Amino acid sequence: MYDLNSVYVAMSMDEALEQMTLEKKTIINGGTDVLVKIRSGKMEGADLLDISHLQEISTISMDENGNIHIGAGCRFTDIVRNALIQTYIPFLAEACDQVGSPQIRNVATIGGNICNGAVSADSVPSLLVLNADLVLRRQKASRTIPLSLFHTGPGKTVRNEEELLTDITITKKNYLGYTGSYVKFGQRKAMEIATLSCAAAVRFCSDKKTIEDVRIAFGVAAPRPIRCYKMEDHLKGRFLDDEQLAFVRKHIIEELQPRDSWRASLEFREELISELSVRALIRAAGRKAILC
């Protein structure tokens, strides 16, 4: 049984935002995290705000400037199958297809995956290397912040109790000409929370050998999802050859703060960081970029 105090079903955005100003409510859409917490006794007597009927946050579109908008209420299955995602940012679909089981992906939302604040969230590293922006709405106001500033620690974000994540925006300049990949390690091949995950995006110069831009992001390698800006700056203007891959393997750990946990020792995580970063870069570099 679920120990709930109340459930309010919002039928419009205005209604949802109004309810969020009245009293503290836990937002629920897919419920794959919230209901587990309630059933385990971590959220006894919860007041829930159901936003699953808000169609305006459940679409994927491209605006007139070529920017891609993913509604926070989009289910992972819908993202994986979406033609825009498959065409322009297929490695995000690759990441979303590794969330839980097919049953979980049919109900879990990308907004919940982001707002839950878990360092192991599968969608977040790929969104980080895409320089995604988040739109947070409240009554009579909204703000847009980079995803890179959203997470502050394990299970913690900058979203306040009156704000609702409505949109994830990926601008054209941040995906056009890039190739990317997402690699994840878990103890099993399916339905496993990441022991470590890494996403990479690469854009080459016209010679198709020199790195013009590169981005690397990790999950479960620090207290929050994290980009490796120093390594990215080092690789720009260089060839992604054996020498540079060896440099990545040796020095990528310097920007990160891996830890011991019951899932993996510190030493094992450090080995994974070295290996997965190289795999992600090699895989990203071997893919064909969309140029227009």
Contact 81, 60 (CB under 8 A): no
Structure confidence at residue 190 (pLDDT) = 56
Spatial distance between the Cα atoms of 2 and 6, rounded to a whole number of angstroms? 11
- 51 in Cβ contact with 17 (< 8 Å): no
pLDDT at site 103: 92
Q: How far is CA 112 from CA 9, 165, 189, in A?
A: 17, 9, 23
Structural domain count of the chain: 3
Query: The CATH number of the domain where 222 resides is what?
Result: 3.30.390.50
Same domain, 195 and 235: yes
| Statement to judge: residues 168 and 229 lie in one domain | no
Last residue of a domain, one of 132, 154, 173: 173
pLDDT of residue 224: 94
Per run of 10 residues, the mean pLDDT along the chain (length 292 residues) is: 82 94 88 80 82 96 98 97 97 95 93 93 97 96 97 94 96 97 79 86 95 97 95 97 96 90 85 96 91 70
Does residue 290 lie within any of the structural domains?
no
The pLDDT score that the predictor gives to residue 258 is 85
Q: 168 and 62, same structural domain?
A: yes
Does 201 share its domain with 244?
yes
Going by C-alpha positions, the residue among 83, 291, 70, 68 that lies closest to residue 171 is 68
Shared domain check, 153 and 93: yes
126/117 Cα distance (integer angstroms): 15
Let me know if residue 182 belongs to a domain: yes
Last residue of a domain, one of 120, 145, 173: 173
pLDDT computed for residue 210 by the predictor? 96
**Domain range holding 211?**
178-285
Are 80 and 150 in a shared domain? yes
Q: Which of these three, 127, 151, 173, is where a domain ends?
A: 173
Please report whether residue 292 resides in a domain. Answer: no
Same domain, residue pair 118 and 44: no
Q: So what's the pLDDT on residue 257?
A: 83
**Helix, strand, or coil here: 95?**
helix
Per-residue confidence (pLDDT) for residue 289, from 0 to 100: 84
Query: 84 CB contacts (<8 Å, ≥6 apart)?
Result: 60, 61, 62, 68
Distance CA 240, CA 235 (A): 8
Give the pLDDT of residue 186: 77
Return the CATH number at 158. 3.30.465.10
